[in-house]
Amino acid sequence: MGPLIPDFISPEWNNIIAIVLGIAFGYVLESAGFSSSRKLVGVFYGYDFAVLRVFFTAAITASIGLLFMDYFGWVNMAALDGLPARVYPIIVGGIIMGLGFVTGGFCPGTCVTAIGIGKLDGYVFFGGIMIGVFVFSEMFPLLENFYNKSNLGDVSVPQYFNISPYWFMVGVSVIAIVAFYVTLQIRKRIKKVEY
């Protein structure tokens, strides 16, 4: 039963596996066009919805796959690393990240792919991330109370709303397909941007 580390694969392999998975992730991100800030922000101005399509397809593929593996007993989905639901800090942090997205044009993962193909704006963005992390860390004593606030723990959406995870995934997939169709119609009506 997964995860294979540490029971089936020795933890010494962990960092090598990290590099290999990183190479695969970086290759796909770059091939999808995510090293281009102008392509990425297209989703916010309606001229390119690649971010929405790639992101939703990836999340849905992974979670349906995990639900199957959980069902067959290959992995215990509840034991995997989730994101602790610290509701208000995530909302505040998310909105700040959204502002960073439309000003900087990247998110941390995509800026790393831009670094890989020599985009200087990607290098500068990464420098910015380090400044942001440094400022937060130095301010932490002031932010600590808020940071630990409203923590619901590592709870899943189906658990929280007490619904079946399978029906939840059906719902998410339907929403994604509708979003894919609607954005296709929007893009047809919006002036093309060359980038």
Partner 1 sequence: MKINPDKQHVYWNPYFAGFLMGIILLLTFYLTGRGLGASGAAKAIVTQTVHTVAPTHTENNTYYAEQFKGGKTPISNWLVFEVIGIVIGAFISGSLSGRAFFRVQHSPKITSRRRLWFALLGGALFGFGAQFAKGCTSGAALSGMAVLSLGGFIAMLSIFGGAYLFAYFFRKLWI
Any contact of residue 195 with partner 1 (CB under 8 A)? Answer: yes
- Rounded to the nearest whole angstrom, what is the least distance from the CB of residue 127 to partner 1 in the complex? 6
**Interface residue with partner 1, options 71, 140, 167, 181 (CB under 8 A):** 140
100 binds partner 1 per the rule CB under 8 A: yes
- The verdict on 24 binding partner 1 (CB under 8 A) reads yes
- DSSP-assigned letter for residue 162: T
Size of the site for partner 1 (CB under 8 A): 129
Residues 42, 61, 155, 144, CA torsion sign: negative
Q: Taking the chain, what is the end-to-end CA distance rounded to the nearest angstrom?
A: 46
- The answer to whether 144 contacts partner 1 (rule: CB under 8 A) is yes
Using CB under 8 A as the binding rule, whether residue 184 contacts partner 1 is answered as no
Rounded to an integer, what distance in angstroms lies between the CA atom of residue 146 and that of residue 154?
Answer: 18
133 versus 174: smaller Cβ distance to partner 1:
133
Applying the rule CB under 8 A, the residues between 57 and 86 that interact with partner 1 are 57-63, 65-66, 69, 74-75, 77, 79-86
- State the minimum distance, in angstroms, from the CB of residue 172 to partner 1: 8
Cα separation, 109 vs 54, in Å, equals 14
Query: Which residues in 149-168 contact partner 1 (CB under 8 A)?
Result: 152, 154-160, 165, 168
Under rule CB under 8 A, residue 25 binds partner 1:
yes
Yes or no: say if 21 and 29 are a contact pair by the CB < 8 Å rule.
no
The answer to whether 107 and 97 have CB atoms below 8 angstroms apart is yes
Q: Which of 10, 12, 73, 112 binds partner 1 (CB under 8 A)?
A: 112
Q: Is 99 in a helix, a strand, or coil?
A: helix
Q: How far is CA 65 from CA 53, 61, 110, 114, in A?
A: 18, 6, 24, 29
> Are the CB atoms for 146 and 89 separated by under 8 Å?
yes
When asked if residue 99 is in the footprint of partner 1 (CB under 8 A), the reply is yes
Residue 153's H or E segment, with its range, is: none
Check residue 177 for interaction with partner 1 (CB under 8 A).
no
**Is residue 118 a contact point for partner 1 (CB under 8 A)?**
yes
- Nearest approach, Cβ of residue 59 and partner 1 (Å): 4
